Amino acid sequence: MLEAKGLNVNLAQEAPTRWEKLGDLVLLPANAFTASDFSAFGAELYACVARVLGASRVARQAPVSQGPKRESRAVMLYPEGADGWVETKELGVTYGLDVTKVMFSSGNGTEKNRMGAVGANGETVVDLFAGIGYYTLQLLKNAGAAKVYACEWNPNSCEALRHNLRVNGVESRCEVLEGDNRRTAPTGVADRVLLGLLPHAEMSWETAIKALKPKGGVLHVHSNVNSGDEDEWMVRLVSELKSLAETNGRGDLDIVVEHLERVKWYGPRIRHVVCDVR
């Protein structure tokens, strides 16, 4: 193709070596085929990509918005006029979303699997950053949770979440609470609270404490932490949670770390971790 267009064959070295496949859609990395010379191919290039990768649609990722809702900026490339809605299945759960509006966190597969096997039978769970249901759906469909309060402030994620609850047949056991969880989350109801926001969810640590039942429960606290600083971060986490508990009349809670899960590398020397605190 390059020679036919009179282009330098070395351009082939700029083709991506990694991509994401979601249903019939291939999501290319943000820097894929961005060199100006590739514009000579037009739709022909992406038709070829789709054919080679066994897809019918192609999109290119873009840097996620840095606002609190972390909205997707992916762009559809092929075919012209195609929409970004996809459905994909992971660990027995169907996830639907519009890739141009919402991120799909495929890199968190190990944590989805862990939440699906966490043993939440009969529990009430509050998911403070539910997204499209990454963990909520695993808890409802695979872990036996009786009820999940799913808090989410991105309207596009809420739309996908409601769809996903329906297609997975668990909508009757989940209440979607749209808006800032610091205002919408219930209090005194949870056996388990998820705080799955990166780079951290510190703004909602107090909300998590308030959500727990009087007898206490488990918090799953996500954060990005510099490699080697995990112990220091856990000490600060426990100290802060104890202080927040005392401030909110929950000084009786004996807050201890049960487990630290290293989910993935988020960047150079930066780990995505989850601390299970009881």
Q: Is the pLDDT of residue 158 over 50?
A: yes
Q: Is the pLDDT of residue 253 over 50?
A: yes
Per-residue pLDDT, 68: 60
Give the whole-angstrom CA distance, residue 128 versus residue 121.
19
Dmax (CA) for the chain in angstroms is 74
Give the whole-angstrom CA distance, residue 257 versus residue 225.
16
Burial (Cβ within 10 Å: 0-12, 13-18, ≥19) of residue 173: middle
Question: How much is the pTM?
Answer: 0.89
Q: What is the mean pLDDT of residues 262-267?
A: 90
Instruction: Assess contact for 221 and 195: CB atoms under 8 A.
Output: yes
Question: Which of residues 71 and 22 earns the better pLDDT score?
Answer: 22
Pairing of strands 192-195, 124-127: parallel
For the chain, domains (ranges, CATH) are: 9-82 (3.30.300.110), 107-277 (3.40.50.150)
Instruction: Assess contact for 145 and 117: CB atoms under 8 A.
Output: no
- Cis preceding linkage at 63, omega within 30: no
